[in-house]
């Protein structure tokens, strides 16, 4: 860690800074900040002829709403402080986008690349069994999801283990989200975080007066972007920004290094190149400019750090040339680098807003699982028939005809992916507007991050107050 203060402490500091712009009583601010439950686990797994002790955590940061919600990460960086900080960010994230959950996070301190699929399965199942034993998982208790180093495969193992231990529980499929679509998952969850980053960015750059302050034109089309990390979040952000927003990706970095091409890099082709060669270095037309952090310093309109925390520190903050930073990863800018960037006039879209798309679609998945039916199953046919009758009348009254293709487009109900994406789009736009209003209403608020924390804290505190704990 290049930052000298702990990650959890730095989240607390942001919250304290925001609290000054609210009238939330001091004791309630302390309660909002506190981690409600921390589970520390050690269990053995067999590797060859020996054993290894696996270090794992699950933290439920806030019980003001239940269940608690948040991903599980597999990374060597995992420790209690990191998981506590990430769980806290989940609390503020869920509140900000009106996802009615408390925040949680889990972590296993491993590099998944060092284990076989079978060993990873053993680790995941054992971890799940420990959570079940401690009553730390369940549709109404705490609902994990993917995070760095995990994906639908791990979620399917978690579900299967849970169901084996909780046989007959009617809502068991809602005990985890981010599952494969064929295993009670929801379409659109895999790309939801990246898609949410795109919607948030598009909304942000649509305000001409805000863009003017940055010396930018309004509108997403033609903006230049640099992406750090081509994992799930980074690659989907880049692909969707390129395809749906006409954004030009001028720089990319991965663990092997950074590449630059001011003429634009086709991300799908780059991903295919990396799959084939094992590296982004040498991609046709691009220049190799240095290590994994080099791309962060490239000139661009939008910088998207989508890897891990602590990427922009006091060492490189002064060299950042981007006008907007979208924190697709959690905590990519350290607390001491943040003021350096603010002073330079960089607009930072904070992690707990801009990457909230994942948990938003997890919420839709959870709702789908609890309802035990697919969205639209009851009403789609009914709507189709009703729209058809209206269209028939229009045809009758106007004497004009409608082509089969137009009839199909005008009468059909939304598919699951369309409903998910529209719910996600609305969520990201609404939350941005709330943050922007708060920012405008309190002239003293220094930056968007603080404004976003103010929005979240107001919602969390009113939940506590309506519980009657803090009259
Ligand atoms: N791990 C993701 C996050 O940091 C998603 C959490 C979820 O879907 O519950 O927001």
Please report, for the domain that includes residue 243, its CATH number.
3.40.50.720
Residue 366 located in a structural domain: yes
Same domain assignment for residues 164 and 143: yes
Structural domain count, the chain: 2
The CA distance from 152 to 181, in Å, is: 9
Options 33, 69, 93, 105, the catalytic residue? 105
CB 303 within 8 A of CB 324: yes
pLDDT-based confidence at residue 17 (cuts at 50, 70, 90) = very high
Query: Last residue of a domain, which of 131, 161, 183?
Result: 183
Q: Which of 99, 143, 145 to mutate to test the pocket of ligand 1 (most atoms within 8 A of CB)?
A: 145
- 308 vs 166: which has the higher pLDDT: 166
Domain containing residue 49: CATH number: 3.40.50.10860
* Domain shared by 170 and 221, yes or no: no
Q: Which atom of ligand 1 is nearest to the CA of 89?
A: 4
* Distance from C-alpha of 458 to C-alpha of 324, rounded to nearest angstrom: 26
Output the DSSP codes for 242-297.
Answer: HHHH--EEEEEEETTEEEE-TT---HHHHHHHHHHHS-STT-TT-EEEESTTGGGG
Residue 434 lies in a domain: yes
Ligand 1 pocket by Cβ (under 6 Å): 69-71, 145, 147, 177-178, 330, 355, 358-359, 362
Residue 178, domain extent: 37-183
Q: Do 104 and 208 belong to one domain?
A: no
- Give the distance (Å) from ligand 1 centre to CA of residue 71: 5
- Count of alpha carbons within 13 angstroms of residue 467, beta-carbon side: 13
Q: Is residue 14 part of a domain?
A: no
Nearest CA-CA partner of 179 in 362, 54, 444? 362
Tell me what pLDDT residue 471 has: 55
Query: Same structural domain for residues 85 and 195?
Result: no
Q: Quote the pLDDT of residue 1.
A: 42
Among 183, 206, 241, where does a domain finish?
183
Q: Quick check: 45 pLDDT over 70? A: yes
More confident residue, 377 or 110: 110
* Mutate which of 11, 71, 174 for ligand 1 pocket (most atoms within 8 A of beta carbon): 71
For residue 150, report the distance from its CA to the centre of ligand 1, in Å: 11
* Domain-located, residue 203: yes
Whole-model pTM above 0.85? yes
Confidence of residue 10 (pLDDT cuts 50, 70, 90): very high
Q: Return the ligand 1 atom nearest residue 148 CA.
A: 1
Please, which pLDDT band fits residue 470 given cuts at 50, 70 and 90? low
Q: Which whole number is the average pLDDT over 54-66?
A: 97
Distances (CA, A) of 458 to 33, 331, 418, 453: 13, 22, 32, 9
Q: Residue range 191-199: average pLDDT?
A: 98
Among residues 183, 204, 235, which one ends one of the domains?
A: 183
230-277 per-position pLDDT tens digit: 999 999 999 999 999 999 999 999 999 999 999 999 999 999 999 999
Q: What is the tens place of the pLDDT at every residue in 274-328?
A: 999 999 999 999 999 999 999 999 999 999 999 989 999 999 999 999 999 999 9
Q: Residue 221 above 80 pLDDT? A: yes
Q: Is 18 a domain residue?
A: no
Based on the fold, state whether residues 75 and 59 are members of the same structural domain. yes
Give the integer Cα–Cα distance in Å for 329 and 354.
Answer: 9
Torsion 117-119-125-131 (CA) sign: negative
pLDDT > 80? residue 468: no
- Give yes or no: residues 155 and 50 share one domain: yes
Q: Which of 299, 291, 203 is nearest to 254 (CA)?
A: 291
Question: Of all protein residues, whose CA lies closest to atom 9 belonging to ligand 1?
Answer: 70
Atom number of ligand 1 nearest to Cα 356: 10
What was the pLDDT predicted at 469?
67
Distance CA 374, CA 68 (A): 24
- 154 and 296 housed in the same domain: no
Residues 121 and 151 in one domain: yes
Instruction: Note whether 139 and 168 are same-domain residues.
Output: yes
Residue 466 Cα to chain centre, angstroms: 28
179 is catalytic: no
What is the pLDDT at residue 57?
Answer: 98
Are 117 and 260 contained in the same domain?
no
Q: List Cβ<8 Å contacts ≥24 apart for 415-420.
A: 415/187, 415/376, 416/186, 416/187, 416/188, 416/374, 416/375, 416/376, 417/187, 417/188, 419/375, 419/376, 420/186, 420/187, 420/188, 420/189, 420/192, 420/361, 420/364, 420/375
Residue 13 placed within a domain:
no
Q: How much is the average pLDDT of 434-445?
A: 94
Confidence class for position 92, pLDDT limits 50, 70, 90: very high
Whether 226 is in a domain gets the answer yes
Residue 148 CA to ligand 1 center (angstroms) comes to 10
Q: How far is the CA of 2 from the centre of ligand 1 (A)?
A: 25
What is the average pLDDT value for the chain, to the nearest integer?
A: 96
- How distant, in Å, are the alpha carbons of 42, 74, 108 from that of 46? 13, 18, 16
Q: Does 4 score more than 70 pLDDT?
A: no
Token readout for 210 is 């805000």
Q: Which ligand 1 atom minimizes the distance to the CA of 71?
A: 1
pLDDT at residue 206 tops 90? yes
Number of Cα atoms under 13 Å in the Cβ half of residue 145: 32
Same structural domain for residues 113 and 192?
Answer: no
Residue 49 has pLDDT above 80, yes or no: yes
The mean pLDDT value for 327-348 works out to: 96
Any domain includes 302: yes
- Is there a single domain that holds both residue 49 and residue 139? yes
Distance 290 CA to ligand 1 centre (A): 31
């Amino acid at each position: 860690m290049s930052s000298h203060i702990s990650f959890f402490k730095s989240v607390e500091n942001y919250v304290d800074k925001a609290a000054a712009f609210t009238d939330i009583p001091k004791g309630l601010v302390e309660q909002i900040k506190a981690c409600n439950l921390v589970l520390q686990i050690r269990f053995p797994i067999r590797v060859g002829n020996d054993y290894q002790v696996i270090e794992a955590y699950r933290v439920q940061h806030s019980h003001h709403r239940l269940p608690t919600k948040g991903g599980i990460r597999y990374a060597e960086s995992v420790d209690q402080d990191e998981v506590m900080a990430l769980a806290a960010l989940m609390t503020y994230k869920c509140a900000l986008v009106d996802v009615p959950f408390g925040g949680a996070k889990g972590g296993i301190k491993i590099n998944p690349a060092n284990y076989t699929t079978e060993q990873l399965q053993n680790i995941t199942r054992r971890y799940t069994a420990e959570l079940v034993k401690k009553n730390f998982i369940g549709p109404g208790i705490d609902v994990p999801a993917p995070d760095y180093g995990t994906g639908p495969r791990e979620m399917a193992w978690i579900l299967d283990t849970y169901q084996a231990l909780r046989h007959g529980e009617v809502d068991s499929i809602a005990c985890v989200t981010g599952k494969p679509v064929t295993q009670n998952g929801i379409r659109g969850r895999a790309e939801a975080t990246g898609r949410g980053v795109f919607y948030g960015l598009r909304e942000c750059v649509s305000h001409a007066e805000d863009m003017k302050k940055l010396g930018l034109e309004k509108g997403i089309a033609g903006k230049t972007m640099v992406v750090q990390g081509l994992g799930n979040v980074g690659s989907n952000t880049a692909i969707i920004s390129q395809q749906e927003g006409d954004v030009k990706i001028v720089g990319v970095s991965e663990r092997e290094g950074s590449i630059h091409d001011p003429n634009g890099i086709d991300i799908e082709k780059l991903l295919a190149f990396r799959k084939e060669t094992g590296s982004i270095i040498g991609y046709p037309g691009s220049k190799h400019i240095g290590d994994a952090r080099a791309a962060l310093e490239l000139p661009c309109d939008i910088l998207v750090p989508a890897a891990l925390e602590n990427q922009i520190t006091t060492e490189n903050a002064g060299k950042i040339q981007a006008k907007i930073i979208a924190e697709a990863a959690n905590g990519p800018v350290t607390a001491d680098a943040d003021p350096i960037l603010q002073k330079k006039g960089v607009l930072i879209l904070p992690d707990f807003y801009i990457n909230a798309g994942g948990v938003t679609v997890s919420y839709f998945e959870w709702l789908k699982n609890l309802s035990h039916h697919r969205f639209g199953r009851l009403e789609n046919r009914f709507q189709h028939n009703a729209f058809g009758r209206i269209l028939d009348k229009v045809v009758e009254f106007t004497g004009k005809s409608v082509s089969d293709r137009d009839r199909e487009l005008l009468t059909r109900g939304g598919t699951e992916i369309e409903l998910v994406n529209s719910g996600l789009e609305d969520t990201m736009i609404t939350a941005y507007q709330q943050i922007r209003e708060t920012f405008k209403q309190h002239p003293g608020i220094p930056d968007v991050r603080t404004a976003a924390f103010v929005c979240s804290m107001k919602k969390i505190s009113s939940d506590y107050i309506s519980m009657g704990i803090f009259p």
